[in-house]
Amino acid sequence: MFLNLKGLRNIVLLQTSLIFTLSFFCTNIAFSQEDSVNRKPTFQKSLKISDYIQIHGFVDAQCVYNLNRDALNNTNRDFLFMLRRARFEVYGTPTSKIDFRIQADFANSPQLLDAWLRVKICKYFALQIGQIKTPFTMDNYYSPLDLEFVELSQVVVSLAGFNDVSGVKSYVNGFEIGALASGTLFDFKKNGETLPLLRYYAGVFGGSGPNMRKDNLSKDFSARIDFYPYVKNLRLSGSVYIGNYALNPNKNAQRFRYSGGVEYLGRNLTLRSEYLQGKTGVYDESVPVDSVYNINTSGLYAFVGYWFYTTWGKNSSIKQRIRPLFRYDYYVRDMQMPSVLSHYYSFGLDWWPEQHIRLHLDYTLKKNANVKKLNHSIAAKVSVKF
């Protein structure tokens, strides 16, 4: 008598189950016959949700005083208090090869920021999908808790998708929806430590800002390469952003930007400098509505700071750090109109009295080409993180 395939499958499953059952039973008998005095105790680590999920957040409260003069020497003063940020983040690592992040800001109205999943295939290649930071400029990747000044430099704000020079309101915080590949291509060893030589980031994005779908079928491209020239804490970086946006239902305008910079992040000394330039299509009111006028924007920032570490008292275990800072910030919105260029000189004090509290004070002297007298601003910020 021949068995059909279903019957044969059932027999195989039954035999396999019996083999595993007998193996388990025999193993238990063997261990039970061991001398309990000589047997070493075994401990099994209990897994907790905190091993896979981390919850973080921070709140920024800020006050700003501005004294601004226009080309006609009219003076405008304002003094503002604001809840600048109230961010909540969930970061997860289900496995060593997979991680994800969800971050939202509740300061004004709830806004989703980070929302991505990353698969780490190997050190040479990882794929990140979702709503993420574009890899354009060095500053864009830093958290507000790590940035040195209360405000970003003018050119980063204009070209990296914070308050975009195009005037499109949906470009905020440097986030886009897309896919990003990243990895380390080469390593080198120095003083027994393995250091990266080259890191790359390259992605395709919707090009409409966070929580927005693209208005046309084209996609934007952005990439950054970081080179570490055999010197610990030093990197050279270059990035590019190539894309467009819907100027109106029948016309697209370009958003092309590139940057190059250098950074040193030591335990005490910190410095970074970067040059950015871009071409952005905007409306030209002097010609038909569907025409495009290309604004050539450029700017440079350079800052230096130095950390001092200490404790509250001789017997105190609470550590604090304080850093004086200086930044030069040059910006011209349209290189064809040099009268709109500006030079900002910022002096800052960055103080962490303990690891969860940050106090920040900046003073900025503003020199605009079309304004005879200088402008001033003072910004103070308190950050609390958890």
* Stronger pLDDT, 16 or 312, i.e. the higher one: 312
How many CA atoms does the CB half-sphere of 211 hold within 13 Å?
12
| CA-based nearest residue to 341, from 288, 294, 299 | 299
**The CA-based dihedral angle spanning residues 359, 152, 304, 351, taken in that order and rounded to the nearest 10 degrees:** 10
Give the per-residue pLDDT at 290.
63
pLDDT > 60? residue 20: no
pLDDT > 60? residue 31: no
Coil, strand or helix at 249: coil
Contact present, 275 and 262 (Cβ < 8 Å): no
Give the per-residue pLDDT at 246.
82
* Stronger pLDDT, 19 or 257, i.e. the higher one: 257
For 335, which DSSP code?
T
For range 347-355, the mean pLDDT: 96
* Stronger pLDDT, 341 or 35, i.e. the higher one: 341
Max Cα separation, the chain? 106
Beta pairing, strands 269-282 & 293-306: antiparallel
pLDDT > 60? residue 373: yes
Give the per-residue pLDDT at 76.
87
Give the per-residue pLDDT at 298.
96
pLDDT (tens digit per residue) in 290-317 = 678 889 999 999 999 999 999 887 777 8
pLDDT band at 22 (very low <50, low <70, confident <90, very high): very low
| CA-based nearest residue to 243, from 197, 314, 178 | 178
For range 273-282, the mean pLDDT: 94
Contact present, 266 and 247 (Cβ < 8 Å): no
Q: Is the dihedral of CA 366, 146, 326, 258 positive or negative?
A: negative
Beta pairing, strands 308-311 & 220-227: unpaired
In this prediction the pTM is 0.81
Q: Give me the chain's average pLDDT, please.
A: 85
- Lowest mean pLDDT across 39-53, 100-114, 161-175, 215-229: 39-53
